[in-house]
Amino acid sequence: IAGNFSGTVATVAATGDAPLSYTEVSGTGLTGSGNANCSLNSSTGVITTSDFGGSATSATTYNFTIRVTDAESQTSDRAFSLTSSYAIEGGGQGN
């Protein structure tokens, strides 16, 4: 994902007895300190950002685990990673 991107990053989809609840349970990649500067909607699983990667200026991989809980309190965890990318700026052309 391009660094400094703004918008929807991904949607985590799950099945189970509604309503489903989504939470980040480990890692510091999505919403914690040193994070990707994202938000996780706890009822839809949509991950959004207004500035992906925040203050980072070089490619970074963010690792995190999301837990889905259904109406019967059954849970399922899955690990994810998102990687930022940055274009080279001010590049010159050699002859």
Tell me how far CA of residue 21 lies from CA of 1, 2, 7, 44, 67, in angstroms: 25, 28, 21, 8, 8
Residue 19: per-residue pLDDT: 96
Residue 88: per-residue pLDDT: 66
pTM of structure = 0.84
φ, ψ of residue 18 in degrees (nearest 5): -65, 150
CB hemisphere CA count around 56 (13 angstroms):
25
Identify whether the C-beta of residue 44 lies closer than 8 Å to the C-beta of residue 10: no
10-residue mean pLDDT profile of the chain (95 residues): values are 91 94 87 84 96 86 94 96 80 51
Strand partners, 22: 68
Residue 33: per-residue pLDDT: 65
